[in-house]
Chain A
Amino acid sequence: MSAVTATKDRGWIIALIPLGTLVLFFVAPMAYMAAVSVFKNDPAAFFKPAFVLDNYAKFFAPFYYSISLRSFVQAGLGAGIVTLLGFFTVLFVSDQSRWLQRFWVILLLSLLCLSEVVIAFALLILFSQSSGIPKLLAWLTLWDNPRSLYPSFGAMMAGYVMLGFSIATLMLFPQVSRRDRAIEEAAQGLGTAPALLFLRVTLPMFRTALLAAFITLFVYFLGVFVMPTMLGGPQNWNMTVIIQDRAVERFNMPLGAALAMIMLALTAVLAALLLWLNRQQRAEDA
């Protein structure tokens, strides 16, 4: 038997490692959650195996679908803001010297070390009436009646930005930094004024990369728990907080599982829709 054939024969053993990881950490929990979502709730024992669709039906109550809609809007808005901010930052950084680029990348990587709780707590202090921005503005006599800036939608969005900023920039950096600067010069030579250059050339050139960053952040922000809880307040709670509340606080695992399954399906549909739209656009271009 040749060495090549022997390696091919043993290939399936190597494939077992990722397959096993996938089954253990993704397929099994998902399958179990899917199963629990059709079980009956039993306050005494969490749930009883059954096949009921009541948990799914509850989603169509105004409370749940309005919160899920809010979750999508919040995640979409957050992802949009962070993607654009990240894009502008990367455009700026990629035009700096090698040394400065390295400095920025290290800084952004170090931001990734900060957990959601740490970021939320830092912002909580910054926005608090007693020690943060309001106090500073009052001291500068710019704000007569200072009050805490959280909980609020703005505080929560600030949290989203801080949380996702390094992810967006690090996702976009490789493509943007390797871009051919001559493309922008060519556009200028063909008559594009600097004001139009960004919209006509730079932005469309990175459409797919921006969409990938947006979808990644969108999915990530849908699952954010600490930001809405600590900085957003009840009026800004998203579906993740509600699922946690139903499953853990109110001991209704089947309802929590059903809501999570619906969110998963909706997210997948939205992401697929965005990718399909991008593909359609590319096909139109071609």
Chain B
Amino acid sequence: MRGLILKDVAKSFGTVPVLQNINLSIQTGAFVCLLGASGCGKTTLLRTIAGFEDLAAGDIRLDGQSLNGVPPYQRNIGMVFQSLALFPHLNVIDNIAYGLSIRGMGRAQRSARAQELIALVDLTGMERRRVSALSGGQKQRVAIARALAIEPSLFLMDEPFSALDAGLRERLQKQIKQLQRRLGVTTVFVTHDQQEAMTLADQIVVMRGGTIEQVGSPSDIYHRPQSRYVAEFVGQNNILDITVKDGTAYWQQQPIGPAKAWPAQTTLALRPEHLRQTTNPSDGVSGRVSFVRQLGSVIETQVEVGALTLIQTQLANTAPLPDVGEPVGLAFDLTHAWELPA
């Protein structure tokens, strides 16, 4: 089968296991994001695929060929490192053409290919510039072009935009997505930023403690989390332990709406946008505003209900901003509630 397949991959540092039982199948041309908190093993997994870390167990196959025991320089995998790792002694064009020169490509041919990539990443006119004289965004693009120049079978990126400001990061995210679509190269992108993963990925792999928590499309991950961890890690979520009685769902002993085909006791994930502030207490539960913040077009309100806190969001300008300490009612739209597996 074409694409990348990881089967029962495991890796330890000394006696500490950092990757366990990793099984993953990535189709050719897909853009996959490894998403997880710091220390969850996503970078280690990426480095293992690139060949910079040895496997303790398992098998990695790329386009049907096993990569086990194949050294990094024979894998034909392009990688963009977190630090970018540009060659400081080479200028822009020589950095990009480096992999081609190692492959023995003639000067004219590699120069033409490097120019092609320079145009692709919008660096025309900077060919002879030293990499130390480039801005952060330009360095990123050199690193991307350098990795793509070798026409890799697999393109890996390890949190390449983490050091950039928000505006530049957004622009580069769009560019890399367009570039990847255009070239059709299978891409694995490591990030801890869920928004970045949502923007870029065809498929998101959520990792936790060296294992895969869930694999799915951004929509699946957001709307249908398979665990409490994914529900809480990807975006904001209200986790509600409810009881169901006579077709009505109860939370904190208060009715919150009609139940779906849920068991008598279960846990729901309800996104903040599916809670609504109300002045009528019979519509839902009542609580007290503990925190309010305006996030551009959205207002986020945290409401304390007993010892628990719920998060609610609504479009700005649709209602007045509540004051902290103000009593408020919350209505639940349970048609969007997602039952978390036990």
Contacts and interface: CB of A to CB of B under 8 A. Distances in A.
A190 interface: yes
Interface stretch (B75-83, B273-281, B315-323): B75-83
Contact of A285 (B52, B91, B147, B150): B91
B52 A191 contact: no
Given A189-B50, A191-B150, A205 B73 contact: no
Given A189-B73, A189-B77, A192-B73, A286 B130 contact: yes
Contacts of B99: 190-191
A200 B99 CA distance: 11
B184 to A, nearest CB: 20
Interface string A223-239: 00000000000000000
A31 interface: no
B72 to A, nearest CB: 5
Which of B50, B102, B146 is packed against the most chain A CB atoms within 10 Å? B102
B87 interface: yes
B252 to A, nearest CB: 51
Contact of A191 (B73, B85, B128): B73
A188 B70 CA distance: 12
A68 B91 CA distance: 40
Given A180-B83, A182-B83, A286-B130, A190 B146 contact: yes
Counting contact residues on chain B (CB < 8 A from A), the size range is: 20 to 34
B334 interface: no
B102 A286 contact: no
A186 B73 CA distance: 9
Nearest to A180: B83
Nearest to B76: A191
Interface string B75-101: 111110111011111110010001100
B98 A190 contact: yes
Contacts of B50: 185, 189
Interface in A187-214: 187-194, 196, 200-201, 204-205, 207
A260 B214 CA distance: 76
Contact of B129 (A180, A190, A204, A286): A286
A189 B98 CA distance: 11
A285 B79 CA distance: 24
B171 interface: no
Given A285-B94, A286-B128, A207 B73 contact: no
18 contacts: A182-B81, A182-B85, A183-B86, A185-B50, A186-B85, A186-B87, A186-B146, A188-B73, A189-B52, A189-B73, A191-B74, A191-B99, A192-B102, A193-B73, A194-B71, A200-B102, A201-B87, A286-B130
Contacts of B83: 180, 182
Contacts of B75: 189
A131 to B, nearest CB: 47
Consensus secondary structure, chain B interface = loop
Contacts of A189: 50-52, 72-73, 75, 77-79, 147
A183 B146 CA distance: 12
A204 B78 contact: no
B182 interface: no
B102 A180 contact: no
Interface string A166-196: 0000000000000010110111111111101
B129 A183 contact: no
B85 A180 contact: yes
B186 to A, nearest CB: 15
A285 B94 CA distance: 8
A25 B98 CA distance: 50
Which of B87, B94, B130 is packed against the most chain A CB atoms within 10 Å? B87
B87 A183 contact: yes
A196 B102 contact: yes
A51 to B, nearest CB: 49
A190 B102 contact: yes
Contacts of A196: 102
A285 B130 contact: yes
Nearest to A206: B89
B162 to A, nearest CB: 14
A169 B130 CA distance: 28
Nearest to B52: A185
B14 to A, nearest CB: 13
A32 B99 CA distance: 58
B81 A205 contact: no
Contacts of B78: 189-190
Given A189-B78, A194-B71, A207-B89, 8 more contacts: A180-B85, A182-B85, A185-B72, A188-B72, A189-B72, A189-B75, A190-B146, A193-B73
A180 B76 CA distance: 22
Interface string B108-150: 0000000000000000000011100000000000000011001
Contacts of A207: 89
Nearest to B80: A186
